[in-house]
Amino acid sequence: MLKIFQILFSIIAVALAGYGLFTEDFQFQAYMTLFLGLAMLMLGLQEFKRNKKLTRWLLMGVFVFSIFVAINGFMLNY
């Protein structure tokens, strides 16, 4: 189940990044960062199941940072 969410969030993030790259319209950049952070959360939860502590904490840190950046982006855009 986590793998499905990880793939789904990654595909959405790549699609939004591709849209911004090709159209040079970066209004969805905060959404891209949000979905990328959620993909990192899914990876961190998978590492939690494998008992890899260092990788798990690193991915959780990336998740928290990306959520912070996404919320900042939402505040600045609207």
Domain chopping of the chain, boundaries: 2-77
Q: How do the pLDDT tens digits run along the chain, 78 residues long?
A: 888 999 999 999 999 999 999 998 888 889 999 999 999 999 999 998 998 889 899 999 999 999 999 999 888 876
Q: What is the DSSP annotation of 13-60?
A: HHHHHHHHHHH---TTHHHHHHHHHHHHHHHHHHHHHHT-HHHHHHHH
The structure's pTM equals 0.87
How far is Cα 42 from Cα 33, in angstroms, rounded to an integer? Answer: 14
